[in-house]
Structure 1
Amino acid sequence: MSEDRPLANTATLNVDLGDRSYPIYIGADLLQQPDLLARHIPGEQAVVISNTTVAPLYAETLRSGLAQFKHVELVVLPDGEQYKSLDTLGTIFDALVDKQCDRQTTLIALGGGVIGDITGFAAASYQRGVPFIQIPTTLLSQVDSSVGGKTGVNHPRAKNMIGAFYQPRCVIADIRTLDTLPERELSAGLAEIIKYGLLWDTDFLDWIEANLSKLRARDETALRHAITRSCAIKADIVNQDEREGGLRALLNLGHTFGHAIEAGMGYGKWLHGEAVGAGMCMAANLSHRLEWISASDLHRVETIVAAAGLPIRSPVELPIETLRNLMNSDKKVQSGRLRLVLMHGLGAALITDKVPENLIMETLRATHAGTASELPEPLQFTDSE
């Protein structure tokens, strides 16, 4: 991975994948620079795909600026994790056919993880592949789902079960879009930032711990550093393992538990980052039971996650037996064996299929909320990975 700064006050990271390499731009007011976007659109037509929450905020700025260079269409989808489905994918295909889009049409994902994932999958599939660009507008999508080329939709019983690896032409992360992000969505994004420290970089974890209050206050300097470092870690991992053959699976720390929570509660009830926050605490609890991290490490993980405004227990509404059964639908299950990403010390994750079942159940019981759900009332929209 290389790094340079071709634009003022903009960090640029490169995901190095040979002829599929692409830049990640991180800075403020990047939506006000349509020439930056236009240079990555090979044809004359682009279709911006957004949702009913994000489109009123940013679609016209993007469309009018880009219209100086390209013909631009807009497709607006309903907002929410429950719309990350094959039915919604069909809606995108209908629009592309109606607009007579060809193989040179570039799809632009303007939104959070749901929009990025479903737009990328549409791009991978339409006419067997058209260019696409990621413009993530949530913290979670800026630090995680927009980078690395994992695209897809949910199956009713399993998250992200249907999809493809398909890399974007570029990723443009405009920090200004975080100004309109609800507090709960901001905290959800912090879960993925914490994840990078726990699985890869204890110096970054120390920095996160010391700067959580600044991140929650949307301090621009702190956000810029957190996004840049998170993307740099993910880019390094993707460079080494694009299709999740081994190393990249470490990025799923907390996700086996978290995805089961999302599916069990019904997509959208818990945000993805909220489920991952609880899932990381569950992974830490299990790692402690295996004597891979200390009691003080476990306490530290729970303290950081809670300080980010995230739950540290699974929902009381979800029975433990149901949660355990849903974990068997995880994509990392191989030959019927559950594979878990755990911590062998902070900053050092590993994947294992040798965890005794009794310890898994002990962790599920120990990390199950004993009172009503720790979450506030659900938001009206939930655009997450």
Structure 2
Amino acid sequence: MRTSISENFSATRPPAGGSAGARLRAFLNREAKAAGFDAVAITSPDAIPLAGERLAEFVAAGFHGSMAWMQETLARRGDPRALWPEVRSIIVLAMNYGPDHDPRTILEKPDRAAISVYAQNRDYHDIVKGKLKGVAGKLAARTGCDVKVFVDTAPVMEKPLAEAAGIGWQGKHTNLVSREHGSWLFLGSIFTTAELEPDRPETDHCGTCRACLDACPTDAFPAPYRLDARRCVSYLTIENKGPIPLEFREAIGNRIYGCDDCLAACPWNKFAREASEAKLRARDDLREPPLADLLELDDAAFREKFSGSPIKRIGRDRFLRNVLVAAGNSADPSLAESCIRLLDDPAPLVRGTAVWAVSKLLDRNELKGLFEKRNEADDTVLGEWKAAF
């Protein structure tokens, strides 16, 4: 039995014929829907033969930046069977996290912090993995087959697998696009030793559109379907552990954690629904938090505010680095005092970025006076001072 995307979750009883395969598929649809997933489809472990080669080209070009783990896990990522030789089928599940508005509107409020939609509530890894385990456990109990669940952090190429399973296709921004959910999907997978009938792969429906490419504020796409992570705001504000390169700071604007521009620009989003799960909807305090409040966070306050959030993983120093870049771009002189205070922060990463922020908010004479009051010894921070003058 082959099930199209539009048929996912539509069956409440086994299709006509009542075969064991059809009954099992109806069972999977039912349990996935009950768990809160919006799409489920099946593919085989040999369905992405070109994915490993394309990833190797990405790494060879240096587009992965400092994400060394991508190179270290290259072999396992290229073939699901390298991760688990016994796997016979892969079930890909997707959960819609579509926002109730265009998230780019906050870019017009430079005194507010723009946080990527997916990070405005609980860590999706925890949400999706818990639900995956529930579905996988019921599948194992019904079939007697072994199962393993994966969500993003494991070396699984979920987007190519989702395309092979028919949930969507990898768009020109390299993210998954669905005709039903646009670009707003969390993905997870269940590997199983059960032999399941695979679904048809999805085809590319991007056409001549390049809205996502043109939306990128830092020109991170050297070509359609190719991403240079070193230029991507999400990489720069999350994965990057050092100072944000000067060439990207102004373009980042008030984006303090990730970037939704290429996702939000996708025309297929007109078919996406607002996320139905309350756990996926934005926390009120993370929709448009004032930069002034975030600049005041010490380590304890940072940990408390972002408990259970993916933002907590980058730590307070990187987070303050990002907020300081946004403050420098705000043209808001009322933020200057908070930035000045951070010139004396214990972390060189914070002090250095504070120099840049202050240099954007004060005139040259005021900046010189601040420098003369300090006895900075860190070479990186001194480099920021030199660049500021």
The alignment's TM-score, normalised by the length of structure 1, stands at 0.29
Q: Is the strand fraction higher in 1 or 2?
A: 1
The alignment's TM-score, normalised by the length of structure 2, stands at 0.29
Higher Cα radius of gyration: 2
